[in-house]
Amino acid sequence: MTINIIIANKHKLFIYLLYVGLSCLFTISLNILHSIYFLKIELTTVSFVTPIFAGLLFGLMLARIKTLSTQLRNIAYTDSLTKIYNRLHFTHFLDAEIDKVKRYGGEFSIIFFDLDHFKEVNDNYGHLTGDDVLIQVTDIVSKANRSADTFARYGGEEFIILAPETGLKGALIHAERLRHDIDKFKFNTAGHITSSFGVAEFNAETDSIETLIERADKALYLAKERGRNRVEKA
């Protein structure tokens, strides 16, 4: 975490220095051209140095705008608590994957899951503990997912995974591994937490985003009805 912060700070410093350098070069060049060729006056120390300070200020403003733009993009795309994709941005990936499979063929599946009796965690230990559980679950799943998988918080204690190039059988195996990892994990305060999974493979002839998620959601609730802490397929 510390290394990531240092790298991020170095990146911000580089952006700032780049904008400052370009701004100074631009303003100095304009000042020289304006003074010598348009105003026909001799450059003085003050008239030469002033644009440098203007460039510093302008570079700072540009760097700040760039930083704010990045922050706003992160807010729009990611969940503020878990730092993974949010529901809205996940649907963009899902829509693109559906379009790809319909155009070129192939397969993919989605894995929909939530935490069993999560309300009791919030009621018994407080919402801060509940947030901590969600963060730890995110870390467990992120470590087990492939780099190609798209992982998002769907809402509350619900999560969803897009598994490209993965049929139903492979998605069921992956979901079972995730269920096992969560089941065996010792959470800081809440102790033992289980999860239920619903898995659905995309059908290019009948599925849309809505029907695919609905089928996975029904499989998830089937897992709930059959005792929780299990994986069911659509």
Interstrand relation of 158-164 and 150-155 (parallel, antiparallel or unpaired): antiparallel
Q: What is the distance between the alpha carbons of residues 10 and 23, in angstroms, rounded to a whole number?
A: 20
Interstrand relation of 108-115 and 195-201 (parallel, antiparallel or unpaired): antiparallel
Q: What is the distance between the alpha carbons of residues 130 and 80, in angstroms, rounded to a whole number?
A: 15
156 close to 133: Cβ distance less than 8 angstroms: no
Q: What is the distance between the alpha carbons of residues 86 and 88, in angstroms, rounded to a whole number?
A: 6
Q: What is the distance between the alpha carbons of residues 229 and 193, in angstroms, rounded to a whole number?
A: 9
Given 157, 158, 210, 214, the catalytic residue: 157
- Annotated catalytic residue 214: no
Which of 110, 112, 116 shows the shortest CA–CA distance to 224?
116
Which of 221, 218, 182, 215 shows the shortest CA–CA distance to 201?
215
Which residues are catalytically annotated? 157
